Structure 1
Amino acid sequence: MKFSDIVVIGGGPAGMSAALAAASEGVRVTLMDRSDELGGQLIKQTHRFFGSERERAGSRGIEIVNILRDEIAKNPLIEVKRNTDVLGIYSDRVIAYEEDKLYRRMTADKIIICTGAAEKMLQFENNDLPGVYGAGAVQTLMNVYGIKPGREVLMVGAGNIGLIVTYQLLQAGVKVVAIVEAAPVIGGYKVHASKVRRFGVPIYTKTTVKTALGDRYVTGAVLADVDDKFQIIPGTEREIAADTICLSVGLAPLSELIMHTGAEIRYIPQLGGFVPKRDENMETTAPGVYVAGDVSCIEEATAAMIEGSIAGISAAIATGMNCSKAVAKREEYIDNLCELRAGDTGKKIRDGLAML
């Protein structure tokens, strides 16, 4: 049975930040991730980040991940376990995981869960045809492997991810025939919407996909208008040609491991679905179990990194190590997070946290 002061599960932006923050206080950290490289969603994000200079605004995700990887590699207190699947967390704080095709066990003083989120699917006829992708899959194909997902793409969803991936498709020479959005307004930032509109891409609000056309693969789609209750309005159907349908309809937190710990889970739509109740230090109702990133709240990567830093410092303090300056540092990160969520763009998150 192995032991670590802190185990961080998930090597995305939140998990890497949590590991670095905890190790900076002199605590031994084991960072586990199921992929062969750390980075999570950052490895496919080629766009520049918004926010403050302090949180690397103006940098691209692929640049940020290299910075974090280098810092982790240089820190002797951080042990990284790649290609490692965490299978369960038991009541006696035993973590079961698969590494190198062997089942292993580890205990930890504190656990930080940063498992991220999964893409949501949209229900429509023939949604299982080849050519129907999630936006994350499209980003992986293009930005990681250099493969175009198709020649003519219909984007479903006008949030930030849908708009950003649309722009990346256009940069790769892929035609985007249209963006459809069921809501009455565009959900993403206006600057992203303006960029794709300058390319001549139409954005249809109050519109959804009713059917994917094709027998063996996607050849088009039937679009339809929706009413205020998101129900299809009969007689508004029309066809559009496309060989790819890209779904950007939101993310759902991967909270299964948190449920293993017995932490209280609540359904908060504004935060993405089932999320754990936690305090401002990112500790859940299961003592010694912390969360950060999309598993706690669907938000931008910048917020995930700040949450990870808060969770890492909080867990380090709770181990009983001599972290004399850690409390002040944590308060600074908490202030940064509140600042990031200020204004109109953060109202949805603030409302969800108030409900939680």
Structure 2
Amino acid sequence: MKELDVLVIGGGPAGINAAQILSNNGFTVLLVDEGYKLGGQLLKQTHKFFGSKEHFAGCRGIDIPSKFPLDKVEILLKSTVVGLYNDGVATIVTEDKFYTKVKSKGIVVATGAQEKFLPFIGNDLPGVYGAGAVQTLMNSEGILPGEKVLMVGAGNIGLIVSYQLLQAGVKVVAVLDAAPQIGGYLVHASKIARAGVPILTSHTIVAAYGKDKVEEAEIAKIDENWNIVKGSNRKVEVDTICLSVGLSPVNDLLWHRGCEMVLIPELGGYVPKRNKFLETTVENLFVAGDVCGVEEASSAMVEGKLAGLALSRNLGSLGLEYEIYKTIKNLEILRKGEVGEKIRRGLKKLGGGD
């Protein structure tokens, strides 16, 4: 059995930040990720971030992972943590072994989120994708998903992926959203609107049709009670339907370890109860990123930093109080304004995390 100070699970924006902080404070760290390289969702983000320099404004997501020096961190890629146990042991499935056992003094779970799906007739036809899958195909593998795409969902992910499809030469027939207004930033919506893509709010997908793959999609307008408006159904010719209808935290390991979980729709589903330092109800088990509640990559990076600092303090590092305080305030700033209102509402329901 391998013994070390800290196990970090997930090599996305939260996990790499937590691992860097912990290793910089002198702890032995093992960072485990399922991917073939570190970065998580950042590896799909070809657009430039905006905001402050501290949050990598002007940098493309794909370039951000290299800005975290992890030379003192042991990294295990193409591997999955399949169990967390009461004695501090974790089991890991790797490429060449059925499992590896690791025992640590502290754990940071930064497993991110997974895409939600949408029930409709024909949703099992080839050509129906999640937005994240489309980003992986295009931005990581260089493969176009199709030639004519219907995007379902006008949050930030739906709008950004629509623009990336346009950049790749794919026609985006329309962007639908069931809500009466878009959920994403206006700056992203404006880009695709200027390219002539219609954004249809108060609309939904009813069905997908095709013999062996998607050939048509049936869409319809919905009223304020979410019912289909009679006579509004129409068909559009598409070969790809891209679903961007939300994310759910990947929290299996937290359930397995016995963390107290709370259902909060505003945060994406079941999330771990934790204190303001991101420590769960299990001592020295911290969380960071979308597993805490679905937000932006900038928030995930700051949460990773906070979890790394707070766990470092728990394990004996001194002189971190001011940096921890600053990081908590940074999170509060990121969540200000109209865009962060939903997150603030969710955190208020959670209690102790805001």
Match of 1:97 in 2: 92
- Distance in 1 (CA, whole Å) between partners of 2:91 and 2:227 is 45
SS at match of 1:123: coil
| Alignment partner of 1:82 out of 68, 77, 93 | 77
Match of 1:156 in 2: 152
Greater mean alpha carbon deviation, residues 234-243 or residues 114-123: 234-243
1:178 aligned partner, one-letter code: A
Match of 1:196 in 2: 192
Tell whether the 8 Å contact from 1:153 to 1:244 is kept in structure 2 after alignment. Answer: yes
- 1:231 to partner: Cα distance: 2.8
CA-to-aligned-CA distance 1:82-119 (integer Å, 9 cap, x gap): 11111101121210111222311111111110011110
- 1:230 to partner: Cα distance: 2.2
Q: 1:323 to 1:25 in 2, by over 3 A?
A: farther
Greater mean alpha carbon deviation, residues 226-235 or residues 180-189: 226-235
- Distance in 2 (CA, whole Å) between partners of 1:289 and 1:125 is 42
Paired residues for 1:270-281 under 5 Å: 270-281=266-277
- Distance in 2 (CA, whole Å) between partners of 1:185 and 1:56 is 29
- 1:343 to partner: Cα distance: 1.0
- Distance in 1 (CA, whole Å) between partners of 2:337 and 2:217 is 37
- Distance in 2 (CA, whole Å) between partners of 1:17 and 1:111 is 14
CA-to-aligned-CA distance 1:166-188 (integer Å, 9 cap, x gap): 00000000000000100000111
- Distance in 2 (CA, whole Å) between partners of 1:233 and 1:101 is 55
Tell whether the 8 Å contact from 1:25 to 1:323 is kept in structure 2 after alignment. Answer: no
1:239 aligned partner, one-letter code: K
1:172 correspondence with 2:178: no
2:322 aligned partner, one-letter code: A
Match of 1:247 in 2: 243
- Distance in 2 (CA, whole Å) between partners of 1:107 and 1:251 is 31
Greater mean alpha carbon deviation, residues 168-177 or residues 59-68: 59-68
Structure 1 stretches of 5 or more lacking a match?
none
- Distance in 1 (CA, whole Å) between partners of 2:75 and 2:66 is 15
- Distance in 1 (CA, whole Å) between partners of 2:139 and 2:77 is 21
SS at match of 1:352: helix
1:350 aligned partner, one-letter code: R
1:64 correspondence with 2:64: yes
Match of 1:317 in 2: 313
1:352 correspondence with 2:346: yes
CA-to-aligned-CA distance 1:249-303 (integer Å, 9 cap, x gap): 0100001101112111111111111101111101011111100001111000010
- Distance in 1 (CA, whole Å) between partners of 2:123 and 2:261 is 30
CA-to-aligned-CA distance 1:39-63 (integer Å, 9 cap, x gap): 1000110011122111111211011
With the length of structure 2 as denominator, give the TM-score of the two structures.
0.97
- Distance in 2 (CA, whole Å) between partners of 1:188 and 1:55 is 19
- 1:323 to partner: Cα distance: 2.6
1:297 correspondence with 2:293: yes
Match of 1:132 in 2: 128
CA-to-aligned-CA distance 1:143-184 (integer Å, 9 cap, x gap): 111111100000000000000000000000000000010000
How many residues of Structure 1 are paired with residues of Structure 2 in the alignment? 349
2:194 aligned partner, one-letter code: R
- Counting aligned pairs with the same residue, the percent is 52
Match of 2:327 in 1: 333
- Distance in 2 (CA, whole Å) between partners of 1:278 and 1:56 is 27
Q: Which 4+ stretches in 1 moved above 3 angstroms?
A: none
- Distance in 2 (CA, whole Å) between partners of 1:162 and 1:82 is 29
Match of 1:343 in 2: 337
Structure 2 stretches of 5 or more lacking a match?
none
2:89 aligned partner, one-letter code: V
- 1:228 to partner: Cα distance: 2.2
- 1:67 to partner: Cα distance: 1.7
Paired residues for 1:249-268 under 5 Å: 249-268=245-264
- 1:331 to partner: Cα distance: 1.2
- Distance in 2 (CA, whole Å) between partners of 1:28 and 1:333 is 23
Tell whether the 8 Å contact from 1:138 to 1:246 is kept in structure 2 after alignment. Answer: yes
